[in-house]
Amino acid sequence: MGRKSIWFVPILYGLLAGGVGIAMMMFFSIRFHTNTNTIIVDFRQLAIMISFYYGGGWSGLISAVMIGIYRLFAGETIQFSSWIGLCNVMFTYVLTGMCMKRAREVSLKIWVRTLIGTVCIYVVSVTIVNAFSHSYALHAFYGIFYMTAGLFAYYIIKYMKRADETLVKMREAANHDFLTKLYNPRSFDRLFRSTADDAEQNNTSFALLVLDIDHFKRVNDRYGHLNGDVVLVQIAQLLGETIRKTDFCARKGGEEFAAILTPCTIEEAIDIAERVRKRIEEHLFVLEEGQEIVLTVSIGVSGFPQLPADALFYEADQALYRAKETGRNRICVADANTEQLHVPARG
């Protein structure tokens, strides 16, 4: 799915921009005739630039080819000006590619430079077909109006980009914990329900880890709540680095974290839980004033289909409670068919 989306987005933008460019030539253009040629004045170059901005080189190429082919056959017959129009489009593509090397990262300076370059290409094109002598005023008006429209398009694009970034930030804020940037309880519960439904329908396995920092209250009491937050952030980072890319991790509240492991057997879940426990045990937590402390965690593990999906949270919590009661810094598994795994506390 990921590979398909890599190609789908540029192709889609290219097709859309190509369609817009063709529409500009069909409905929003000025045509005048010289002795043997038909000159079409429009804003097709803007469509290629916008396509480049959103979709990159492949998108720009698709739109340029579509617009160029249409320009070649736009008249009743293929004239010399038709070939010049095709060359105009392709040179616009080359120039835009040279100026806009990174999609969506175009400054005003680069955009203006590209606009000026495309105007120059237009001037060369109409000069080759000897069209300047027919209407100096029209070409001058076109250049001014084209630059104005291009700048207007740039600011509209930037406004839409800022609005999109704001929406993404709001969505992230609604779904993620403000401190650790992991999923918050509400979004994690939604992910859990979705994962459980998929597992039940497809008869696949997944697991749940519930993790709690041992003696976290001592950190807050001795070093202050600010350093407690520092520890929570580092725990979140260690979790994110240790679990797999297919897994989901959340801060459930206070010093408690949880992770959905999918797809995952109970044996794999125990192995991942042990890696998390060991990684945290061996990590030196650096506090605000440079102090270094060592912490441990206790972990409860439950898995589907060994247990019903709607019982996983409760059973994982009970396993976590047993891990705390039996010495901390260990893993307990909520499964009657699996022997509980106890890891001796450090020291």
Q: Where are the alpha helices (DSSP H) in 77-135?
A: 80-99, 108-128
Alpha carbon distance 272, 299 (integer Å): 11
Burial of 324 (0-12, 13-18, 19+ CB in 10 A): middle
**Residues 6 or more apart in contact with residue 323 via CB below 8 angstroms:** 298, 299, 300, 330, 331, 332, 342
Helix and strand numbers (H, E) in the chain are: 10, 9
CB 51 within 8 A of CB 59: yes
CB 201 within 8 A of CB 269: no
Q: Is residue 255 among the annotated active site residues? A: yes
Residue 217: count of CB within 10 angstroms of its CB: 11
Core vs surface per residue 76-101: b (16+ CB within 10 A) or e: eeebebbebbbbbbbbbbebbbebbe
Q: Which helix (H) or strand (E) holds 166?
A: helix 136-175
Q: Given the residues 105, 165, 172, 255, select the one marked as catalytic.
A: 255
Which residues belong to the active site?
Answer: 255
